[in-house]
Structure 1
Amino acid sequence: MNPQEQDEAAGAEEGLDSLGEGTLLAITAAKGRVGCCFFDPLTDKLSFLEDQQDSTGWDLTHLIIEQLLPATVVTSSTADATFLEALDAQLAALPLSSAGTSAASAPSDAAEAKTRLEYRPAREFYAGPGKYALSQLHIAEGGWYAEAEEEERDSGYDSGLGGEADNAAGFEDAHDFGDRPAKRRKLLRDVEMDGDAARRNRELRVEAFLNNLSTSPLTIGCAGALLNHVNKTRSNAGELDGTFEIKGLELMKLDKVMLVNSDALTSLQVFEDEAHAATGSSRTKEGLSLFGIVNVTRTPLGKLLMRQWFIRPSLELGVIEARHDAVECFARNENQHAVDAIQLHFKHVKNVRRVLKALAGGSGSIADWQSTWMFVFSSIQIRDAVLCLEHRTGIEAIDNLLDSFDSLAFKDLGEMINNVIDWQESQLKSQACVRRGVDADLDKLRRQYDGLESFLSSVAKDVARDLPRELAKELSLIYFPQLGYLITIAYEPDVTDAGKYGSLGWDFQFVIENHAYFKNDKCRDLDRHIGDLESFISDKEIEIMHALTAHVLQLQDQMLATADALAELDCLIAFAEVSRIYDWTRPVMTEDPVCKILKGRHPLAQLCVETFVPNNTSLVGGQAAVKPDPEQDAQMHAAEDKSVIILTGANFSGKSVYLKQIALITLMAHIGCFVPAEDALIGLTDRIMTRVSTRESITRGSSAFMIDLQQVAFALRNLTPRSLLILDEFGKGTEANDGAGLFCGVVEHLVALGKDTPRVAIATHFQHVFLNGVLSRQLPATLAHMEILVDESSKASASDGTKGVESVAYLYSLAPGLALSSHATSLAALFGIPPPVLTRAEEVTHAVSTFSIDSLAVRDEAQMSALEREELRRAEWVARRLVGLELDEPEEGEEGEGLEELRKKLRWVLDGEGGDDEGGMD
């Protein structure tokens, strides 16, 4: 075997090892946003993380690398430069004994465990190819793709291969995903539909796993790059089939942060972008949202940090409780004066990271130096104000600030900056200028420059003594930076005549604004002995400012640590401020999967009404077992301690607000903020999944109901026992019976999880599934409704136009039991639907609910034409003859009635002919 063949074999063997034993991570970043896709060969699953905004220090990227410890990392060569630097540094810092290994297999050689980093062209990370690559995957999760193919066959799909070919393609083996031969998979692909319909069908199937591909282009691009890398690795290893089968797609689980997808953030109104008031501006501003009312931070870094906390709430109990301790300290009345002083100094704290980067790069402006000086002194002032806080002992955020910098070093640096920079002159010249008295050489140069005008005037007089009177009268000597000293006279047509001025020893230089400029021996002497004063002064100032910059950068680490500590302090003080304004209280955090809220309120809805009615909530994960475990404490199975709450009630009664407030209170507790409740016990929640609102878009190409299905499928597939699921009116987008069936299927699936059931809150109008016994009222779920008051007397006292429509008063209070009606017509009356429409609606509703639809036709008989009344009479006549028809049941051993006999009886039913009165009619 030649060396080339040996290298190829080694590469193939390496490819097999990397695919079989190591994990693979594709990750990239653009404009501060990160997307990634992860493949674990031990589970044969792809994990995704929605595109998210990372911090300036790329904290999310570090968290992903630390937790996944991939064997191979693939990234784009055109990703953000700072991201690539941070990624390379993070991978280099990984311990060799753990990088790229798993519990199942660990390499014996530490060198083999070092993570490999590969840079790939940007085209491999485009979202379009990534979406196509995902649509070509064969996903074996529960036989998902196979079931869909079997349904196509049952619905009339013909492979065109015949029975044997269909069997070969795997149609008779739809649920067998053990070791399906590659030729069967290939044959199955050959019989799939072609064209746009097939492509769209595959994309929709993948969206059921990923829930709206278009919102995460970076992640989808990473998936394409990862699959491309896998295919190349398999090809190098000698596997030329080209088919890549996985067991499922799922959300990436990060141990330290809660996952809240974009649908949940939008549905819960955590963020709300509104168009800016400025005409023609493309910028947006924060509207009425949870982030909008909580974000009262004063510093730029504080605003960025708070947004990160909202996007990635913490799952570390110690971190959450440390934030709650700080908020409690800052919210104390006796600390209000100190907090006000801290917030007053926050306005002088700018984005220090950007400022230090500009100073280090030599592009710092006078504004950057002012920001640095004010940051240094503001940090000292804030530190002094923090020391005045009561009950500050043990507050981690305060300790971080006190330990972040040396106050004496900061004071010396601040004084140095103030003593070196002349702020007034710097403002006039728009650049940093050094004060007088800082450097003796610089002061000497400045004195020379200040006296230069009078000196040049005297030199010009000396030069003019030997010139004609006409020429001497217009002559002057001036100084040009970098050009030196020049003689200037008024412009004449023959100014360039070498004979006229050359005889004087003048060399022509240039003409500007009707003046000609020359240089003679006197000017050259001035250039040699005095030189370019302005350049000398500028160079000297630059040298001094570089020295000052070096002093600043010596404290760069302290300044960055202080900036982070101040940003955290800013966020926590903002939490305390809004908690005091809106009367929020501290929640109790626990690792148990519970959500118990006493008199909870919706943080946004309560701002939009005069009086908000609070409600209680009690959800305990894992309490959906139909038969309680006798070994467990009976208190764990109390009536109110259920994993699922199913909420019914009238329209406009507050069901959606109640569901959202549960999720928002849970989210707020995890970011470290107080919550709008009298008391709350919140268990750590790893994911918040919602099906609340439907974001329709022409670009998605999906109906509203299809989007709802994708959201629910995504939630059910990625739920864990520690998750929170919110479902609002699922199933309402399709035919009532189908919607009710889907609702029942989802509920039964959730309660069947038993000890793995997450905390679930559901609102629905399908209360009839409990009334008719489709779902048992003994289901291990809490049945509740939103209370209303119905004024039955209003039916009789109403005008003729609204007869039968009762008046409803909404109490917005949670009560146990089912609601038997949605009272839709009462709400319609409240919003101005015409009375005749309401009356007719009540009549139709009553007829449908009592199975007396014929009464609708009888009531309108007077309005029918003669022909319509005749058709109705004849239809009734035919129906009566059919009901009265008696068919003789054949005795044992006898043949039944022949076809001709049945036809005669049918003619008798329809026309009254060919029959016999003995058939059963009067």
Structure 2
Amino acid sequence: MAIDVDKDAKIGCAYYVAMDEELVLEEEVSMGGIEAVDTLLLHVQPTSIIIPNRSPGELIDFLERDAHRFDDSEGSGGEQGSYILQHVVSVQFDYEAGKEALARLDLEPSKPDPVEILSLEEEHARSVGPSIHGKLMRIAEKINLESCLSVGCAGAVLQDLERRRNAEDLPDGEEGSIPFRVRSIKMNTSADTMLVSADSLISLQILQSELHPNPHTRSSNSSEPKAKEALSIMGLLQALASSAQGKKRLRQMLLRPSTDIDLIRERHRSIAVLLRTENSETVKNMRKQLRKLKNTKTLLLHVRKGVDRIRGQLSIRVGDWKALLRFSMVSAQLRQAINALKGVSDIAIFSRICNEIDVKRYLHLGDIIIRTIDFQLSKENGRTEILVGASEYLDGLRQEFASVRDMLPDLKESVVQEVPREAAKHIRHCTVMPQLGFLTAVTLDPETGEGVYHGQHHPQDEWRMCFVSEYVAYYKNRLMLDLDSQYGDLPSRIADEEVEVIMALAAALLEHEEAILHASELFGELDSLLALALAAEKYNWTAPIMTVSNVIDVVDGRHPLQELLTPSYIPNSCHLAGGCGTDGLDEDARATSGNRKGAAPSMLILTGPNNSGKSVYMKQVALIVYLSHTGSYVPATRATIGVTDRILTRIATRETVIRDESAFMVDLKQAAFSMNFATRRSLLLIDEFGKGTTAESGSALFAAYLAYLLDLGVDRPKVLAGTHFHEIFENGLLRTGTDVAFGHLDVRLDAQAEDPEDQITFLFHLLPGRGPSSLGVLCAAINDIPSDVIKRAEVIVALEDSNESLVEACSDLSEQDREQLSQAELVARNFLALQVPNKAGEQGQGASIRDLLQSVLSVKQIGTSSL
């Protein structure tokens, strides 16, 4: 993966997917900054990152946080990072060099090339320019060459791949295990895609990683990931997918929610078909079949590597052939299952599977595998075995070799008869080995390192030792040489023929590679929809109504994760409408707005006690909007969701020692990102913004933040905000109107209860209007704050409520303080009344100064002095 950032914070990115042999370019993100880089890292999960040496320090510090450390320096902890960070010269990110590198790619054409690169009449020397120009025109059909930073990043990636190919070349000239070739290229654009920043993905628990429970898996010496998906939307839904293709496709859908309303509605209709009662048995069978599929791209990669002999076995494992056979059978069965579904005639995914999956093709592929591989014998022998009948020549060699093996005991007898009688007992057996042919095994003499008998007293026959194993020496004699010339190297000939048969089978499969990969992609998409349908059925989710109106209308919505952790979840509704734009509301918006009494606000401000459910409520609304754009059903009784282009949050403060920033600075950056990128179709979540500074500054910033969003008028976004700054509303710092609504989560108070936990009952039900108080002192008492602190806080809160001066209240003294001050005052008065003798006239007649001072300090107060 290559990343480049210019001075205007524009982000360019390109990366190579080794499994797909595909180069991917990301469309440039203007003013993206570190937030956009963080989002790209979550999407791509790279193993290596390349940046130019002119990169800004902020980017370098951010990437080095999770980079692999090759040194064992202090602070590394001996742990491996998520990726390797490489700094290269800036010239490798040059735009023109990137274009030339792209033009040199030998891509597999997905359709006939419309660009005529070289005509027959052109001379070769004069066709260089037109050739490159034509290739760039062909590349421009797939990517936007105006994304200069991303094109430069693609050039850096291609140069790195070239270095890797050179490093993978073996000394003997053989090709390395990974060719790093580029078979295809594509560009991800922001068009028809909802923007969800990395902060939003983590704050809403769409992604949530935790340390893997297996210590061996997360150790520094392990090549496996050191973290796994925790309780999150991603983990919740991916667990319901049956195949690797389905999990991958589902991740793509979740990380790139769509704003294409037709695509979203198509997915909803597909899920509706899968949830129909008459289709339940067929759907269960489809899930069962999909669980049998392995990663087809990995299997075909093994086939493309070719075959040879490794430790006496065919390099393609029998398990791979079994998986390919299973894929061919499952393809045919899934195609038949789709035909059995009811109501699929006008659904795109089902129509594509029916039209593009050729059952005869896959049955043919399965047939040639069955007629080639002997799975039962392979299981018994632990290696790939060729079935009898797959090759007549191989069968003949095997029969010949079987007859040779049958004659080995007779060969031993022939050798015994030729050697002296006293040497006969040392002849162990006769055998035949690959590359060595026929051999006679003789007992080894440990003293000499040769066989006890090695041709002594037999001058007509020369015995030549080939090798020695434990207790046995192997020899060639005249009889063995005659057999070699008669039968040749049968084991090697058999092995070579087995390789030829497997290569023929591999070639037959690779003829259908594109069809197999295409079918795998279709099954992955089908599996992802089956997972969403299973989630809807398992968690009681319903189909949202998608509309072009800029509204969010949720009835009895629920948090998809929180409801799994509570025995009884209280649902709540939400009704918001963003700005109508310069063109005004369309007919769809008017119809939707008419479903509710009065105009819908664009901003809902939540107040009330801590732990009452404000944050959960805001997150559940955002997750319902998010899930609806992935094509999933949503946890609500009913929901009408307008197309939303961005979900921006100011919720969690993600601090790190790598960033030399305070918590308040991080909050300000998140808020700035939200204000700069929000549109009228965006959804903003603002939870307790301003709490990182003084109450006066925090409340002022929060009020100004909300006022800025409201002043956008017809371009104002939809906003959910939560705060404890009640002085904003009491002092009239925020204007009110129909576009602003207030809400709070209901609580019940019982001041007479002795136990603090019984004094407050959270009902988690949304009510209109502002909450009367944050009840911070009561929440502190519930969480075991010492009683003295609670009492003192209650006194201060009571004074604030009655507009008393906190300065005078905090200056009031306790009884002990009063007693000490009274004693100090008496000492001071006695000191002032002290008669100090005249040193010149009264010397020797009075007490010493020390005694006089001691008498002042030893005076006891009688009674109580008033201050």
TM > 0.5: yes
Instruction: State the alpha-carbon separation in 2 of the partners of residues 747 and 56 from structure 1.
Output: 35
Query: 1:695: Cα distance to partner?
Result: 2.0
Q: Which amino acid aligns with 1:407?
A: V
Structure 2 residue aligned with 1:453:
405
Q: Give yes or no for contact 2:377–2:385 (8 Å, CA) kept in 1.
A: yes
> Is the counterpart of residue 318 in structure 1 residue 262 in structure 2?
yes
> Is the counterpart of residue 710 in structure 1 residue 710 in structure 2?
no
Structure 1 residue aligned with 2:311:
none
Instruction: State the alpha-carbon separation in 2 of the partners of residues 538 and 445 from structure 1.
Output: 10
Instruction: State the alpha-carbon separation in 2 of the partners of residues 117 and 866 from structure 1.
Output: 77
Tell me whether 423-432 or 745-754 shows the greater mean CA deviation. 423-432
Structure 1 residue aligned with 2:197:
261
> Is the counterpart of residue 557 in structure 1 residue 557 in structure 2?
no
Superposed counterparts of 1:706-785, under 5 Å: 706-778=665-737, 780-785=739-744
Structure 1 residue aligned with 2:335:
383
Query: 1:85: Cα distance to partner?
Result: 9.4
Structure 1 residue aligned with 2:279:
335
Structure 2 residue aligned with 1:504:
461
Superposed counterparts of 1:35-434, under 5 Å: 38=28, 50-52=39-41, 72=95, 93-95=138-140, 100=145, 119-120=155-156, 254-282=190-218, 283-295=226-238, 296-362=240-306, 363-434=315-386
Q: Which amino acid aligns with 2:155?
A: Y
SS of residue paired to 2:368 = helix
Instruction: State the alpha-carbon separation in 1 of the partners of residues 686 and 439 from structure 2.
Output: 84
- 1:493-517 Cα offsets, whole Å, 9 max, x none, are 6658898666523333333333333
> Is the counterpart of residue 851 in structure 1 residue 804 in structure 2?
yes
Change (3 A) 1:788 1:300: same
Please point out which of 14, 17, 21 is paired with 1:27: 14
Q: Which amino acid aligns with 2:345?
A: T
Please point out which of 807, 812, 817 is paired with 1:864: 817
Instruction: State the alpha-carbon separation in 1 of the partners of residues 160 and 319 from structure 2.
Output: 42
Structure 2 residue aligned with 1:660:
619
Q: Which amino acid aligns with 1:784?
A: G
- 1:237-285 Cα offsets, whole Å, 9 max, x none, are xxxxxxxxxxxxxxx9701222212211111111222333334431333
Q: Give yes or no for contact 2:420–2:457 (8 Å, CA) kept in 1.
A: no
Q: Give yes or no for contact 2:747–2:763 (8 Å, CA) kept in 1.
A: yes
> Is the counterpart of residue 694 in structure 1 residue 646 in structure 2?
no
Instruction: State the alpha-carbon separation in 2 of the partners of residues 616 and 539 from structure 1.
Output: 71
SS of residue paired to 1:451 = helix
Query: 1:665: Cα distance to partner?
Result: 0.4
- 1:138-177 Cα offsets, whole Å, 9 max, x none, are xxxxxxxxxxxxxxxxxxxxxxxxxxxxxxxxxxxxxxxx
- 1:561-618 Cα offsets, whole Å, 9 max, x none, are 1111111111111111111121111001122322111111111111222222211111
| Percent identity of equivalent pairs | 31
Change (3 A) 1:669 1:469: same
Q: Which amino acid aligns with 1:309?
A: M
Change (3 A) 1:386 1:532: same
Query: 1:290: Cα distance to partner?
Result: 1.7
Instruction: State the alpha-carbon separation in 1 of the partners of residues 135 and 201 from structure 2.
Output: 30
Q: Give yes or no for contact 1:724–1:760 (8 Å, CA) kept in 2.
A: yes
Superposed counterparts of 1:622-701, under 5 Å: 622=579, 639-701=598-660
SS of residue paired to 1:865 = helix
Structure 2 residue aligned with 1:596:
553
Instruction: State the alpha-carbon separation in 1 of the partners of residues 489 and 621 from structure 2.
Output: 73
Q: Give yes or no for contact 1:622–1:758 (8 Å, CA) kept in 2.
A: yes
- 1:41-81 Cα offsets, whole Å, 9 max, x none, are xx999995532466899xxxxxxxxxxxx9947769999x9
Query: 1:544: Cα distance to partner?
Result: 1.5
Please point out which of 385, 389, 395 is paired with 1:437: 389
Query: 1:852: Cα distance to partner?
Result: 2.8
Q: Give yes or no for contact 1:25–1:74 (8 Å, CA) kept in 2.
A: no
Instruction: State the alpha-carbon separation in 2 of the partners of residues 366 and 831 from structure 1.
Output: 61
- Larger proportion of helix: 1
Instruction: Report how many residues are paired.
Output: 692
Q: Give yes or no for contact 2:15–2:154 (8 Å, CA) kept in 1.
A: no
Query: 1:412: Cα distance to partner?
Result: 2.1
Query: 1:522: Cα distance to partner?
Result: 2.7
Change (3 A) 1:73 1:738: farther
Query: 1:293: Cα distance to partner?
Result: 2.2
SS of residue paired to 1:864 = helix
Give structure 1 stretches of 5+ with no counterpart.
Answer: 1-18, 58-69, 103-111, 126-251, 874-922
- 1:327-346 Cα offsets, whole Å, 9 max, x none, are 11111122111111111112
Q: Give yes or no for contact 2:98–2:152 (8 Å, CA) kept in 1.
A: no
Q: Which amino acid aligns with 2:653?
A: T
Instruction: State the alpha-carbon separation in 2 of the partners of residues 364 and 38 from structure 1.
Output: 42
Q: Which amino acid aligns with 1:856?
A: A
Change (3 A) 1:579 1:121: closer
Q: Which amino acid aligns with 1:258?
A: M
SS of residue paired to 1:51 = helix
Query: 1:92: Cα distance to partner?
Result: 6.5
Q: Which amino acid aligns with 1:323?
A: R
Instruction: State the alpha-carbon separation in 2 of the partners of residues 762 and 624 from structure 1.
Output: 22
Query: 1:659: Cα distance to partner?
Result: 0.4
Change (3 A) 1:357 1:76: farther
Instruction: State the alpha-carbon separation in 1 of the partners of residues 482 and 733 from structure 2.
Output: 108
Please point out which of 583, 593, 606 is paired with 2:540: 583
SS of residue paired to 1:682 = strand
Q: Which amino acid aligns with 2:631?
A: G
SS of residue paired to 2:765 = strand
- 1:114-145 Cα offsets, whole Å, 9 max, x none, are 988973499999xxxxxxxxxxxxxxxxxxxx
Query: 1:463: Cα distance to partner?
Result: 4.1
> Is the counterpart of residue 523 in structure 1 residue 480 in structure 2?
yes
Q: Which amino acid aligns with 1:526?
A: L
Query: 1:726: Cα distance to partner?
Result: 0.6
> Is the counterpart of residue 469 in structure 1 residue 434 in structure 2?
no
SS of residue paired to 2:371 = helix
SS of residue paired to 1:784 = strand
Tell me whether 846-855 or 332-341 shows the greater mean CA deviation. 846-855
- Over aligned residue pairs, what C-alpha RMSD do you find? 4.2
Q: Give yes or no for contact 2:461–2:478 (8 Å, CA) kept in 1.
A: no
Q: Which amino acid aligns with 1:490?
A: T
Tell me whether 814-823 or 349-358 shows the greater mean CA deviation. 814-823
Q: Give yes or no for contact 2:648–2:674 (8 Å, CA) kept in 1.
A: yes
Change (3 A) 1:857 1:273: closer
Structure 2 residue aligned with 1:824:
776
Instruction: State the alpha-carbon separation in 2 of the partners of residues 435 and 264 from structure 1.
Output: 56
- Structure 1 length as normaliser, TM-score? 0.68
Q: Give yes or no for contact 2:14–2:157 (8 Å, CA) kept in 1.
A: no
Q: Which amino acid aligns with 1:592?
A: S
Change (3 A) 1:422 1:498: closer
Instruction: State the alpha-carbon separation in 2 of the partners of residues 754 and 854 from structure 1.
Output: 43
Q: Which amino acid aligns with 2:570?
A: V
Query: 1:459: Cα distance to partner?
Result: 3.4
Instruction: State the alpha-carbon separation in 2 of the partners of residues 305 and 393 from structure 1.
Output: 23
- 1:172-215 Cα offsets, whole Å, 9 max, x none, are xxxxxxxxxxxxxxxxxxxxxxxxxxxxxxxxxxxxxxxxxxxx
Instruction: State the alpha-carbon separation in 2 of the partners of residues 115 and 694 from structure 1.
Output: 34
Instruction: State the alpha-carbon separation in 2 of the partners of residues 512 and 563 from structure 1.
Output: 50
Structure 2 residue aligned with 1:238:
none
Query: 1:870: Cα distance to partner?
Result: 10
Structure 2 residue aligned with 1:537:
494
